[in-house]
Amino acid sequence: NAGVTQTPKFQVLKTGQSMTLQCAQDMNHEYMSWYRQDPGMGLRLIHYSVGAGITDQGEVPNGYNVSRSTTEDFPLRLLSAAPSQTSVYFCASSYSRPGRGGNQPQHFGDGTRLSIL
C-alpha cells in the first residue's frame, strides 16, 4: 500500500513549456485534489475530483487542466508554464470530500517542486 504517489519530485521548466504532474493512489479513494503551496500562502486548491469522469475547479484553477479517467490517477497539466506557477504541488486523496460524507481525512503525496524560469 503506497498511499499517494507523485512524480516527478523535482522539475525545472522554461516559460511556455507544458508538462504533466502525475498523481496516483492505491486506496480506492473517490476524492482527489491538487494544491499548490507558496511561502506564506498555505495550501490553495487548484482542481478536485469526486470520482472518475468528474472534475471541478478550486480556488486557483487558471493555467491548469485535470482529468480523471480512472479512480487511481489524477494528473495535473500545465498548459503553458509561467514563472508565477513556480511552487510546490501536492496531490491529496480521501474516501469522500473532506467536508461531507463522514468528514474523511486527506492523505497527501510527497509533493512536486516545480521551478519555471
Binding residues for another protein, rule: CB under 8 A, are 33, 35, 40-45, 48, 56, 58-59, 90, 97-100, 103, 105-111
Give the nearer residue to another protein in terms of CB position, either 31 or 71.
Answer: 31
Task: Tell me how far, at minimum, the Cβ of 84 lies from another protein, in Å.
Answer: 18
Given the DSSP bridges, would you call strands 112-116 and 54-57 parallel, antiparallel or unpaired? unpaired
Give the nearer residue to another protein in terms of CB position, either 109 or 116.
Answer: 109
Q: Is 89 exposed, middle or buried (0-12, 13-18, 19+ CB in 10 A)?
A: buried
Give the nearer residue to another protein in terms of CB position, either 74 or 90.
Answer: 90
Task: Tell me how far, at minimum, the Cβ of 17 lies from another protein, in Å.
Answer: 25
Task: Tell me how far, at minimum, the Cβ of 113 lies from another protein, in Å.
Answer: 9
Give the nearer residue to another protein in terms of CB position, either 85 or 94.
Answer: 94
Count of residues in the chain: 117
Give me the sheet containing 64-66, strands edge to edge.
Answer: 4-7, 19-25, 76-78, 64-66
- Phi, psi torsion values for 101, nearest 5 degrees: 60, 45
Cell numbers that stand for 101 in this block: 460524507
Task: Tell me how far, at minimum, the Cβ of 43 lies from another protein, in Å.
Answer: 4
